[in-house]
A = this chain, B = another copy of it.
Amino acid sequence: MKFVQEEISIRTDKRSQMVDITDNVATLIGQTGITDGQVIAYCPHTTGAITINENADPDVIHDLLLTFDELFPKERQGYRHVEGNSDAHCKSSLVGTSEQVLIKEGRLVLGTWQGLYFCEFDGPRTRRVILQISGEV
């Protein structure tokens, strides 16, 4: 059983954006030598999130961000938080701060159309994603 913690740094350039981190994570897994186990991708920011969704047609990501913006408008009657980013905090809790993906024979067990994304909801900012890769070498 081996545990490795690594970090990815991401520079976002829009307020809302989804950044595909699948290749970064796959490369790090290869470096650990872990063959069977799991990787946890964790977002240490309260206005970001991690999700898994389609990485074939970029229009899917466009439509996800559009939907999130319509469900969580930036302004809402009754909001108190003075930073004006309560919408981003909501998206963070509903999309979720982490995802886990299984590892088999040294590879991510993702579906054919799946990619792993860091979600920026209050950018542009420099963000971190913490990865814990654990399993059998």
Contacts and interface: CB of A to CB of B under 8 A. Distances in A.
Interface of A: 1, 3, 5, 36-38, 40, 42-46, 51-54, 57, 59-60, 62-64, 66-68, 70-72, 76, 78-83, 86-87, 89-90, 92-102, 104, 109-114, 130, 132, 134-136
B37 A38 contact: no
| Identical copies in the complex | 3
A114 B46 contact: yes
A93 B51 contact: yes
A134 B100 CA distance: 14
A7 to B, nearest CB: 10
B44 A114 contact: yes
A5 B102 contact: yes
